[in-house]
Amino acid sequence: MVEIVFGKLALPKDGVLVLPVGEGLPLSGEAAMLDEKLSAALSNAMAAAEFTGKSGQSLNIYNAGAYKRIIIIGAGKDDAPRRAELLGAAITAALGKETEATILTQGFTAEQAAEIGLGARLRAYKFEKYRTTQKPEEKARLKKLKLLTAAPKGAEAAWEIAKAVANGVEFTRDLVTEPANVLYPAEFAERTEGLKKLGLKIEIFGQKELEKLGFGTLLAVSQGSIREPRMVVMQWLGASGHGEDKKKKPKDPLVFVGKGVTFDTGGISLKPAAGMEDMKWDMAGAGTVAGLMCALAGRKAKIDAIGLIGLVENMPSGSATRPGDVVKSYAGKTVEILNTDAEGRLVLADVLYYAQERFAPKFMVNLATLTGAIIVGLGHEYAGMFSNSDELVGKLTASGEAVGEKLWRMPLSKEGEGYDKEIDSPIADVKNIGGGRAGGSITAAQFLQRFVNNTPWAHLDIAGMAWGAKDAGVNPKGATAFGVRLLDHFTRGFE
């Protein structure tokens, strides 16, 4: 984890110095003063390298005066979206193997200085828990960044909020990156208990409690595994107030539900071997919800928010659910399970209905790596969004654009119409897959909608966005924690 600190805007004496320069702009302020001291070495190097200040562009000058290294880095145009945080990410990338550096943030507000720190820290994330043979030069080396600003106190105040979001993102990334032999349902649930220190109320439901509740579709997924399932309910009562009343109930809460399949073999409908190792992150929706609740509690959000996650492992065995089995859901509806690899919707069905019945949400959003079909349709640029509420779609879309986690609305039919007819079963109330491969992400959403009762709701299919194949923006290669920042931004509209 990179330490982010702030100081008063002034030229440091030595070390590694980062100078952001806007697109098409000359050196200014302290940077111009330094250039003068160095006999125009900086401006001359910029001219020779045809440096324009374009976002992400960088220029290295070594052993300039007392400085080990000066990095001149493009800050892009003043009106560019997410300019400050993307600058922070670019700075981390440009620093390479440096352990610490000082950044001059002249021309940026205190809030933007904090955003630079956020982008830098998010890009610097590495998961090295199981690496035992790394050479020193291969390990994450960046430890500290000092941002010098005209308003250090304001930047520190803004950073306290941004830091809570960074903690939530990193909590999610850690969960999603863990191997399934380490992170199984009970272990995942236990890790959420660590969030109690932030003021979250945590309830964990085990096998017996879920059987008593009648979570038939969730239990149908887990019954082939020796790992027992869990459901975790996380409550943050930032509007109602925690106080001493342990029975305090949330008022018009925002509810978030996550799919947590800690490993998905497909069950009896076994997946192909190639790429199955990726199914350790089939719990990314649950990981996002846990990280979001960490962020909300960490920044003391003035809302009531509930996070619910259904945690199971989907394995083939003599006790596993068979294709063709019929089970009864918590909602009382019967489900014909034709494909045991369409399991995430079975987990979500019980948790969604329980969430509505118990908490009466103002809005409800679920996240899931639900279908490969959404990747076929949208690739790795957008998550698919299905919703029964135009208002909710508008708010979520705007939040996604604001933080760079983009959503694309997909069609959804009313019950008994259009796509929904595809999941009618001849022997039960509903079947868990449609009639073929066509529209697979849509029929999955239609299934979920069958368990939504007059609640403004959105389903985010994040299968294409939960894991990145390469470094991009504030995300290093690996787990992205897609949705944490999006939903944190979304909740701010209710504070």
CA dihedral 85, 88, 89, 90 (to 10 degrees): 120
345 is catalytic: yes
Q: What is the DSSP annotation of 259-287?
A: EEEEEE--TTSPPPSTTGGGGGGTTHHHH
CA distance 429 to 426: 8
Q: Which residues contact 190 (CB under 8 A, 6 or more apart)?
A: none
Determine which one of 271, 333, 409, 421 is catalytic. 271
Q: How far is CA 278 from CA 18, 44, 122, 143, in A?
A: 38, 49, 22, 30
Q: What is the DSSP annotation of 375-398?
A: HHHHTTT-EEEEES-HHHHHHHHH
Report which of 284, 195, 265, 309 is spatially closest to residue 479, judged by C-alpha positions.
Answer: 284
Q: Are 185 and 227 in contact (CB under 8 A)?
A: yes
Q: Are 149 and 105 in contact (CB under 8 A)?
A: yes
Tokens linked to 109: 């507000």
Determine which one of 123, 230, 280, 345 is catalytic. 345
358 is catalytic: no
Q: Are 231 and 310 in contact (CB under 8 A)?
A: yes
Which amino acids are annotated catalytic?
Answer: 271, 345
